[in-house]
Amino acid sequence: MRFTFTDEQRAFQRAVRDFLAKECPPEHVRAMTTDPTGRSPKLWKGLAGLGVVGLTVPEEFGGLGGEEIDLVLLLEEAGRAALPEPLLETAAVGVPMLRAIGGDLAREWLPRVAAGDAILTVAMSGVTLADAHVADLILTPNGPVLPSDLHLERLPSIDATRRLFAFDGAGIDDAAFDRGALAAAAVLCGIAARVIELGATYAKERHQFGKPIGSFQAVKHLLADALLGLEFARPLVYRAAWSVATGDEQRSRYVSMAKSYASDAAMNACRASLQVHGAIGYTHEHDLHLWLNKATALAHAWGTAAWHRERIAL
């Protein structure tokens, strides 16, 4: 088993990072919090043009035919940019569900997803639906549903870019749930990396007693501990991606390890960066809150750290 990525996978990651730095800066994320849909068709098309949206779509349907090991690095970049688009629900969970269903449904929808002409969402827990207001197809254990067939009742969400709706029905099966939890863990790693960078940058710029606050040991330790947590979480996320991609019998165990560590790493990194910033990151005027809200929402979605630890213990 090799945990290193290929040069092509790393090059794809850098390309997505450069694209999101240009097309999804904090100003765009902030604008999406108050946008009526919270989504940008232009950005979604751009991601599809890069091959990100259709990465897990088979080549015969216009995708790249990739798997979770290829997708996990791109999901990290989504977290780093606080990407509002439903990449997790569409590429990480919805597409594999469509592949498993197969038949006419897959032949109709997979090419549309790869082209950036369709958004998928899934019945995450039997209680909520994410982004159902912009989805073209909703996948449930009882079959696909068109959003027009549902009465969408919006629920409150910590992350204003991630719209949640009530759903009265069964949740997705364990395999799909594990794909969602793995994807959330990867996004959380990207969020952790970004808030640590924001904290380190601020620590170099902010001066107290005639020197940068980053020169003080207490500040160094905060950020070093946050980085340590992230470096412990990342290998677990990559291991879980391998387990999901290869159908490992211990898949759920490794996914739970990844999600619990990534959730803790992201929340610890957010707290450290917030403290380094002197708590100004709580305010809506500061960009840091965009990542704080997304980390908090994702840490509680697809199973909390405590829930996943309990699943490992069973």
pLDDT digits (tens, 9 = 90+) for 81-120: 999 999 999 999 999 999 999 999 999 999 999 999 999 9
Question: What pLDDT shows up at residue 289?
Answer: 94
Distance CA 183, CA 70 (A): 12
Mean of pLDDT values over 10-33: 97
List of residues 6+ apart from 5 with CB closer than 8 A: 13, 69, 73
Residues 261-266 have a mean pLDDT of 98
Selected residue with higher pLDDT from 156 and 25:
25
Contact 138, 147 (CB under 8 A): yes
Please state, rounded to an integer, the average pLDDT across all residues of the chain: 93
Q: Given this model, what pLDDT does residue 227 score?
A: 98
pTM of the full structure:
0.95
Q: How far apart are the C-alpha atoms of 254 and 72, rounded to whole Å?
A: 14
Which tokens in the block code for residue 51? 């091959």
Mean pLDDT to the nearest integer, 277-293: 89
What are the angstrom distances between the C-alpha of 224 and each of 49, 60, 196, 304? 37, 46, 9, 24
287's tokens: 């960009």
Lowest mean pLDDT among 41-45, 67-71, 151-155: 151-155
Contact 162, 49 (CB under 8 A): no
Q: Which residues contact 144 (CB under 8 A, 6 or more apart)?
A: 101, 105, 137, 138
Rounded to whole angstroms, the Cα distance separating 208 from 235 reads: 37
Under 8 Å CB-to-CB from 118, ≥6 apart: which residues?
109, 112, 136, 137
The whole-angstrom separation of Cα 292 and Cα 195 is 8
- Report pLDDT digits (tens) over 207-229: 999 999 999 999 999 999 999 99
